[in-house]
Structure 1
């Protein structure tokens, strides 16, 4: 059993394809006719005990979890294999807690982000940073149509999704918060300043940051702590996870708009970090490193079997690591040091002091070549 914690437009199509391949039963919990079938969920699901059952938007019906637990245990006693149920939906904190309590030892979680570079033909690569990875945005006929779609998605989140998670602030205030986070892309969290600007209390800001995180719209990158006796920054950095939504919140339609905007560097940094973390093995630990004396690493990843990796992000293929990067590497002594740039050249080359310059796509391919295939 797997719960895919995602709000990816296009996952319904994926579920239907899985269903076609395995003669599965597909139910959309938001569709009244499908929900009606689950009035007596135990009886209905028992009728399809030999098929894969896909339950989409399962967060709207958490009362199913105890039923699923009973059916899974019954199937185990009858010798039925695992993988009978595929649950799709938003992985909110409440949902994860409820599923974890009811299905402990019976469920595996898998995060399904928007489309990634490694999943796309080369002709779509130039648009991913600008438009993001949501299929309807990425594949739109024009940049303007793509932006319209993303603006509609943002409105849907503000008017429907966030209120369904208990949001009580007006949509206009929530949009201001989200837009402020976009302008501060990759910056340290200053909850007090956000609360002051929005005229709300800090507890409320924390709550909405958590909700945006649960909906996989916001990534909180935590500081990398070590036992070096250094004075380290303790506040996390925040990133709007999908670069297309970031640009929509800032009103940036074309690549030229992005390149001329002050957020361009942090936008590219967030895109690289999000891409790498989505491609990293699940057991990896990640964060950023910053000390009071200016030592700084944009992304630190500890990957099983590969050791500690320090990554400096530059948009230009001619960029050089900052002095603080070298100082931070002296602190942490990583096994691998990379300068990840936006160039299309797949060739990696040294830039001194053990640092390798490499394009984002090339580093991704290197990772894929070194790791075993899995779900």
Structure 2
């Protein structure tokens, strides 16, 4: 079934490999990076190495010795952040291959920690590779008919495709436990698993809320610096999104704290023990969960180079999501679980302040209708389609 779901990134990564020597594909564990890489490898001469396997790590202890013999092939290296010393050798390999006439499609590097990996590779591979982030399944990948299941279970392939809601929840609970007890310690971080679980769960309860570090620190019995470190870690692992406030000078007093979302709705629900659609619809987090689910899908659909933020003034003018497109145009998007195609006056005040190009309400109806003040109300799938068409 997973093979039947065509990932949006498949063609993007293939096109990038056809244009550049290498691609770095980022994404949390179990999101489908290896499957996508293997699909690409099947279409060309390639080898696959996994840095979690001792034998493969040994092969690359003297990387030039091995990689020189693979010249002309696509070399896929999984969990590459586990061998930080490799990046310098890869730079030399790319340069040697260019001189030998192999200018594109040489390396596909897969990694599970964005900032760590970017810092390791930025200087060594600058100008030689492009970076792409693979998200969990998005609505346009699985189809509008699967919206409720995708929202409830989230987009990690094994969770979304599970035989039942119970099996899906069990997978996500195991995923969370594995991250806390094995994966995070593997980065050399000494954070008690139970403390980090409580922190992650507190974020789930506050899904989409403004970051209140003092409140989180008090609840955990730790310092504000510890809260900042925990949040940085979950953001780096691409499990949490820190959505920044709009910061350009508008002459208004704006909120300065970021909003925080657990990026996969299924993980939000697992942390809160929500198993079924009925339980979700009756839970206080339902509004924040829906907002986060829509925002992740919209950001994933936006063109490369889009900057995402939110707008909130001290006077109450607010926009859930502002997308600054590569050309500079601003889209103002409000997300509501409602069937009424209306937004607050504060939305239009904020949109006027920013001189936005588009005003969109993502709401719970299936038809697209015009609203007041240039607003267009539409289902999530239609908003995704509009962004994909850019």
TM-score (norm 2): 0.91
Q: How much has 1:320 moved relative to structure 2?
A: 2.2
Per the alignment, do residues 306 and 133 of structure 1 end up closer, same or farther by CA in structure 2, a change over 3 Å counting? same
Residue 3 of structure 2 is matched in structure 1 by none
Q: Provide the C-alpha distance between the structure 2 equivalents of 1:88 and 1:44, rounded to a whole number of angstroms.
A: 19
In the TM superposition, 1:206-355 aligns within 5 A as: 206-305=228-327, 307-343=329-365, 345=366, 347-355=367-375
Q: Provide the C-alpha distance between the structure 2 equivalents of 1:318 and 1:139, rounded to a whole number of angstroms.
A: 32
Instruction: Tell me if the contact between 2:319 and 2:333 (Cα under 8 Å) persists in the aligned partners.
Output: yes
Residue 163 of structure 2 is matched in structure 1 by 141
Instruction: Tell me if the contact between 2:155 and 2:266 (Cα under 8 Å) persists in the aligned partners.
Output: yes
Residue 356 of structure 1 is matched in structure 2 by 376
SS at match of 2:42: helix
Q: 5+ unaligned residues in a row in structure 1: which ranges? A: none
1:195 aligned residue (209, 214, 217): 217
Q: Provide the C-alpha distance between the structure 2 equivalents of 1:6 and 1:145, rounded to a whole number of angstroms.
A: 23
Residue 120 of structure 2 is matched in structure 1 by 98
Residue 25 of structure 2 is matched in structure 1 by 4
Aligned residues: 368
Residue 171 of structure 1 is matched in structure 2 by 193
List structure 1 segments (4+ residues) > 4 angstroms apart after TM superposition: none
SS at match of 1:177: helix
Q: Provide the C-alpha distance between the structure 1 equivalents of 2:144 and 2:373, rounded to a whole number of angstroms.
A: 32
Instruction: Tell me if the contact between 2:317 and 2:349 (Cα under 8 Å) persists in the aligned partners.
Output: yes
Q: How much has 1:342 moved relative to structure 2?
A: 2.8
Q: Which moved more, 1:204-213 or 1:328-337?
A: 328-337
Summarize deviations over 1:81-122 as a string: whole Å, max 9, x none: 222000001134232111112112212111111111111244
Q: How much has 1:305 moved relative to structure 2?
A: 4.3
Q: How much has 1:149 moved relative to structure 2?
A: 0.1
Instruction: Tell me if the contact between 2:29 and 2:112 (Cα under 8 Å) persists in the aligned partners.
Output: no
Q: Provide the C-alpha distance between the structure 1 equivalents of 2:357 and 2:67, rounded to a whole number of angstroms.
A: 50
Summarize deviations over 1:3-40 as a string: whole Å, max 9, x none: 11112423212222211111210111111222222232
Q: Which moved more, 1:143-152 or 1:20-29?
A: 20-29
Q: Provide the C-alpha distance between the structure 2 equivalents of 1:359 and 1:51, rounded to a whole number of angstroms.
A: 44
Q: CA RMSD in A?
A: 1.4
In the TM superposition, 1:8-23 aligns within 5 A as: 8-9=29-30, 10-23=32-45
Q: Provide the C-alpha distance between the structure 2 equivalents of 1:264 and 1:274, rounded to a whole number of angstroms.
A: 15
Instruction: Tell me if the contact between 1:8 and 1:112 (Cα under 8 Å) persists in the aligned partners.
Output: no
Residue 27 of structure 1 is matched in structure 2 by 49
Q: Provide the C-alpha distance between the structure 2 equivalents of 1:90 and 1:53, rounded to a whole number of angstroms.
A: 18
Per the alignment, do residues 126 and 189 of structure 1 end up closer, same or farther by CA in structure 2, a change over 3 Å counting? same
Instruction: Tell me if the contact between 2:113 and 2:236 (Cα under 8 Å) persists in the aligned partners.
Output: yes
Summarize deviations over 1:213-263 as a string: whole Å, max 9, x none: 010000000011232211100000000000000000010001111110011
Instruction: Tell me if the contact between 1:8 and 1:114 (Cα under 8 Å) persists in the aligned partners.
Output: no
Q: How much has 1:317 moved relative to structure 2?
A: 2.6
Instruction: Tell me if the contact between 1:2 and 1:85 (Cα under 8 Å) persists in the aligned partners.
Output: yes
Per the alignment, do residues 290 and 133 of structure 1 end up closer, same or farther by CA in structure 2, a change over 3 Å counting? same
Instruction: Tell me if the contact between 2:334 and 2:361 (Cα under 8 Å) persists in the aligned partners.
Output: yes
Q: 5+ unaligned residues in a row in structure 2: which ranges? A: 1-21
Summarize deviations over 1:280-313 as a string: whole Å, max 9, x none: 1111122000001110000011113472111110
1:124 aligned residue (131, 136, 146): 146
SS at match of 1:353: helix
Residue 7 of structure 2 is matched in structure 1 by none
Residue 58 of structure 1 is matched in structure 2 by 80
